[in-house]
Amino acid sequence: MKLAELLKTLDFKLINGSLDTEVSDITNDSRKVKEGSLFFCISGANFDGHTFAKNVCDMGAAVLITEKEVEDINDATVIRVPSTRYAMGVISSIFYGEPSRKLTVIGITGTKGKTTTTYMIREMLMAAGHKTGLVGTIEIIDGKEVMPSLNTTPESLLLHKKLKDMVDNGLDSVVMEVSSQGLMLDRVAGVDFDYGIYTNLSPDHIGPNEHASFDEYRMWKSKLFTLCKEGIFNIDDENAALMIKNATCNINTFGKDEDADYSASGHELSSYDGVLGIEYMLGGRKSERIQVDLPGDFSIHNSLAAIAVADMMGVPMDKICEILKTIKVRGRVEMIPISDKFTIMIDYAHNDVSLKSIIEAIREYKPKRLVTLFGCGGNRSRDRRFSMGEVSGRMSDLTIITSDNPRFEEPDMIMADIKTGIDKTDGKYIMIADRKEAIRYAIMNATEGDVIILAGKGHEDYQEIKGVKHHMDERDLIKEILEEEDVEKICGYNNRYFA
């Protein structure tokens, strides 16, 4: 493809070479450069692609996209742009044939609920006959293969390549999580969004390597609604008004507010066979009794968001209701039904806000005891450990402090920080560093009516220690424990999950 075609929508300056240069490949990885490549010089947190200019030219790069001056470029064509990250998104889209314009693209942003809502929407669309891809925190599904995700929103070059794969594989739509980092770092540059969904906002991802303040975090979240055609907003959230004010798309709403386009009223809790759920009456543009086999107030909002976009895309209500009754999302209030006596669930809650939210949700079901098991990641903010300890100490009947991803810290030191938070409360706790043994303790000491929350790991199937990721899936740990112990004593006659 000619360079001029790739640059047709960008503001740029030709520093050296010719716009007639033929481009055979595009990359931002110096190790993947080959003859005729276009190389993006990305200024990253750890590496600056501009410093590789000479190396990639020696390897045969035909074009460099830069935002700074580079030297020793030989005969390569050099293009200067205001932002190489933004240019990478736009050029990637054109290079791969603008695949997002050939798909119905649904983007979801917010602090909580993105992953669950993403899977709800995909299942609804699939049930109605849409061939739908997915891009999210857990995985990328392109219609032929499933690829584990490194980032909630991948780099634009990979994103547009996977969108092209979806088109090539016969898909007609894609639902994707859009993180604040993805918006700030232009990972979605060049993506043509049809729908944008706003779930909620609370302080998160604020720190030296993320966002400077909550206001900045919120500002980047709002960017999605300047990129999409139809915006769908949770008007129960206190930040929704500002999101709507800054939006340039058509406005659609959901929430418990009776004026919402998709509203929920009269919610009731349901509990059976170790599964917790919720029911409510859908109002507004549709009227239907909704049953969701996931617990908590957040399940109302997640399901409303999914209902809104599915309805706007023409999915019949019977298909919508069918999916909500059976939806299971890996690591998001994921029930592991091994007993009628007690409930055990896995959830990704890994900060004080999300932990408080899940505990509040479960408290509504009035468990005999609420047992919360969690650890905290190493080489991360210690404040998170103190705050999570304090939340669990105040709200749980028993906290089991264990290890998460210690990385390059000692698990005992991390656990001691969590204990410091719990010690501000009167909460009962026990410390068991080995996560499998901690889970064993929770199961073997469960009493009838207990709810056990395994928090923090969620969909993750590894534990990172000293730079090495070791396989560790909590579902496997539970299965192993049941095989090693007296299953009948633990679970009665209703071990359905591993049957």
User: Does one domain contain both 81 and 105?
Assistant: no
**Mean of the pLDDT values across residues 59-73?**
93
Q: Are 454 and 345 in contact (CB under 8 A)?
A: yes
The per-residue b/e assignment along 240-264, b for 16 or more CB within 10 angstroms, e otherwise, is: bebbbeebebeebbbbbbeebbbbb
**Per-residue model confidence as pLDDT tens digits over 313-336:** 999 999 999 999 988 888 999 999
Using the predicted structure, report yes or no on whether residue 211 has a pLDDT greater than 60: no
* pLDDT given for residue 141 in this prediction: 97
**Mean of the pLDDT values across residues 464-490?**
90
Number of C-beta neighbours around residue 476 at 10 A:
12
How many angstroms separate the CA atoms of 45 and 36, rounded?
27
How many angstroms separate the CA atoms of 111 and 150, rounded?
18
Rounded to two decimals, the pTM is: 0.87
Q: Name the band, by pLDDT with cuts 50, 70 and 90, for residue 492.
A: low
* pLDDT given for residue 181 in this prediction: 84
Question: In terms of residue numbers, what domain contains 81?
Answer: 3-95
**Per-residue model confidence as pLDDT tens digits over 359-377:** 999 999 999 999 999 999 9
Last residue of a domain, one of 296, 326, 356: 326
For residue 489, give Cα distances in angstroms to 272, 281, 339, 367.
Answer: 20, 40, 10, 21
Residues 6+ apart with CB under 8 A from 328: 293, 334, 335
User: Does one domain contain both 255 and 125?
Assistant: yes
How many domains in the chain? 3
* pLDDT given for residue 494 in this prediction: 60
Strands (E), 307-455: 334-335, 343-347, 370-374, 398-401, 429-431, 451-455
User: Does one domain contain both 187 and 275?
Assistant: yes
**Mean of the pLDDT values across residues 42-67?**
93
Query: Do the domain assignments include residue 499?
Result: no
Last residue of a domain, one of 270, 302, 326: 326
Query: Do the domain assignments include residue 420?
Result: yes
Give φ, ψ of 392 to 5 degrees: -65, -40
Kindly report which listed range (133-137, 265-269, 299-303, 336-340) carries the lowest average pLDDT score.
Answer: 336-340
**Mean of the pLDDT values across residues 445-458?**
95
- 120, containing H or E segment: helix 114-127
User: Does one domain contain both 162 and 232?
Assistant: yes
Query: Do the domain assignments include residue 498?
Result: no
How many angstroms separate the CA atoms of 204 and 218, rounded?
10
User: Does one domain contain both 443 and 399?
Assistant: yes
**Per-residue model confidence as pLDDT tens digits over 377-435:** 999 889 999 999 999 999 999 999 999 999 999 999 999 999 999 999 999 999 999 99
Strands 429-431 and 398-401: parallel
Query: Do the domain assignments include residue 497?
Result: no
User: Does one domain contain both 24 and 112?
Assistant: no
Question: Which CATH number does the domain housing residue 59 bear?
Answer: 3.40.1390.10
User: Does one domain contain both 106 and 83?
Assistant: no
Beta bridge pairs of residue 22:
2
Using the predicted structure, report yes or no on whether residue 498 has a pLDDT greater than 90: no
Question: Which CATH number does the domain housing residue 275 bear?
Answer: 3.40.1190.10
Q: Does 275 or 495 have the greater pLDDT score?
A: 275
Query: Do the domain assignments include residue 203?
Result: yes
* pLDDT given for residue 71 in this prediction: 85
Mean pLDDT value across the chain: 93
Query: Do the domain assignments include residue 496?
Result: no
Candidate ranges 30-34, 109-113, 180-184; pick with highest mean pLDDT: 30-34
Last residue of a domain, one of 95, 122, 146: 95
Give φ, ψ of 442 to 5 degrees: -60, -45
Using the predicted structure, report yes or no on whether residue 206 has a pLDDT greater than 60: no
User: Does one domain contain both 103 and 206?
Assistant: yes
**Per-residue model confidence as pLDDT tens digits over 278-299:** 999 999 999 999 999 999 888 9
User: Does one domain contain both 299 and 349?
Assistant: no
Query: Do the domain assignments include residue 304?
Result: yes
Query: Do the domain assignments include residue 109?
Result: yes
How many angstroms separate the CA atoms of 293 and 271, rounded?
9
Alpha helices in 258-371 (DSSP H): 297-312, 317-326, 352-363
**Mean of the pLDDT values across residues 60-71?**
95
**Per-residue model confidence as pLDDT tens digits over 213-258:** 778 878 888 999 999 999 999 999 999 999 999 999 999 999 999 9
User: Does one domain contain both 462 and 389?
Assistant: yes
- 173, containing H or E segment: strand 173-177
The per-residue b/e assignment along 91-120, b for 16 or more CB within 10 angstroms, e otherwise, is: bbbbbbebbbeebbbbbbbbbbbbbbbbbb
How many angstroms separate the CA atoms of 163 and 283, rounded?
35
Q: Are 399 and 422 in contact (CB under 8 A)?
A: yes
* pLDDT given for residue 281 in this prediction: 98
Q: Does 36 or 210 have the greater pLDDT score?
A: 36
**Per-residue model confidence as pLDDT tens digits over 26-38:** 999 999 999 999 9
Using the predicted structure, report yes or no on whether residue 77 has a pLDDT greater than 60: yes
Q: Name the band, by pLDDT with cuts 50, 70 and 90, for residue 82.
A: very high
Q: Is 194 left (phi over 0), alpha (psi -120 to 50) or beta?
A: alpha
Residues 6+ apart with CB under 8 A from 364: 269, 295, 296, 297
User: Does one domain contain both 56 and 115?
Assistant: no
Give the percent of the chain with pLDDT over 70: 96
How many angstroms separate the CA atoms of 70 and 270, rounded?
63
Using the predicted structure, report yes or no on whether residue 493 has a pLDDT greater than 60: no
* pLDDT given for residue 274 in this prediction: 72
User: Does one domain contain both 252 and 365?
Assistant: no
For residue 162, give Cα distances in angstroms to 176, 191, 231, 396, 440.
Answer: 12, 12, 24, 43, 41
Question: Which CATH number does the domain housing residue 450 bear?
Answer: 3.90.190.20
